Structure 1
Amino acid sequence: MKISLSTDFLTGLIFCGLGATAIIIGSKYPIGTAARMGAGYFPLLVSVGLIILGVVLLARSFLGETEEVGEVDPRPLLVMLVSVLLFGLLIEDWGFPLAGAVVVVGASLAGRAFKPIETGLLAVGLVVFCTLLFSYGLGLNLPHTRFW
């Protein structure tokens, strides 16, 4: 059996590895039952789903023709990593609206075609939607800026 570095094979390995790691980390939390879920119930459920998806992708990579892994461009990965890190660093001091806008702009910069007006409208729309959903819909306390 020939194992080629296809996108399905590598993605399946990553999903299985992430799922197994999450199960190991989450094993400290009580699972509970479906009626009375503990803190580890949902992470376990998501991790098992991730492993199942990884196994399906691995099987698909062995059974069929899949796309070979080409050249990897690290720029989008690095831009997204920096924008998520900035979100984590800025949310307490600058608040959710500005930190959320940083993530949206970072995601847009990670793509090939950056359109400032479209990105600005998307950032405003997503921040307003998330603020309405989490603050008012779910009643969570989101950090707000000192400027608001």
Structure 2
Amino acid sequence: MDIRISSDFLTGLLFCGLGAVAIIIGSDYPIGTAARMGAGYFPLLVSSGLILLGGVLIIRSFVTETEEVGSIDIRPLALLIGSILLFGLLIEDWGFPVAGLAVVIGARIAGRQYKPLETILLAVGLVGFCLVLFSYGLGLHLPATHLW
């Protein structure tokens, strides 16, 4: 059998691997029953769904003609990972508004069609919505939101 390295095949392997790791990590939690769910019930359900979806993608990669995996563009990957790391570094000292702006702007710059005004409006709108939703709507404390 000829195994083609296609995007469906690699995505299926990724989903199966993530699902298996989540099941292993969550195996210490009590599962319970459908009527009385334990802490491990939902993670087991989601992880099983990931494995099932991954299996379907792997089978589909053998049955249908899928596109081959091409070269990987490092720039968007580095910008996304960098903006997430920057969020983690900024959240404690600078607070959620600054960290949120950094992650949204970093993620938007990673795209091909970057427009500065659109990016700033999107970042301010998303951070404002999250502040209203989490701080005021749900009553959660976000780091350093009292400074604003």
Q: What is the TM-score when the length of structure 1 is the normalising length?
A: 0.91
Q: CA deviation at 1:110?
A: 1.0
Distance 1:109 1:85 in 2: 15
Paired letter, 1:88: G
Q: CA deviation at 1:59?
A: 1.1
Q: CA deviation at 1:146?
A: 6.3
Q: Find the residue that maps to 2:19 and give its secondary structure.
A: helix
The unaligned stretches of length 5 or more in structure 1 are none
Q: What is the TM-score when the length of structure 2 is the normalising length?
A: 0.91
Q: 1:140 to 1:33 in 2, by over 3 A?
A: farther
Distance 1:66 1:98 in 2: 42
Write out per-residue CA displacement over residues 105-138 of structure 1, whole angstroms, 9 at most, x where no aligned residue. Answer: 1111111122111110000111111122222232
Task: Give 2:7's aligned residue.
Answer: 7
Distance 1:100 1:36 in 2: 37
Write out per-residue CA displacement over residues 82-113 of structure 1, whole angstroms, 9 at most, x where no aligned residue. Answer: 11111112111111111111111111111112
- For residues 36-75 of structure 1, the aligned pairs below 5 Å read 36-75=36-75
Write out per-residue CA displacement over residues 57-99 of structure 1, whole angstroms, 9 at most, x where no aligned residue. Answer: 1111011000110111122111111111111121111111111
Distance 1:49 1:136 in 2: 34
Matched, 1:24 2:24: yes
Paired letter, 2:119: T
- The answer (yes or no) to whether the contact 1:96–1:144 under 8 Å persists in 2 is yes
Across the aligned residues of Structure 1 and Structure 2, the Cα RMSD in angstroms comes to: 1.6
Matched, 1:119 2:119: yes
The unaligned stretches of length 5 or more in structure 2 are none
Aligned length: 148
Identity, % of aligned pairs? 73
- For residues 84-99 of structure 1, the aligned pairs below 5 Å read 84-99=84-99
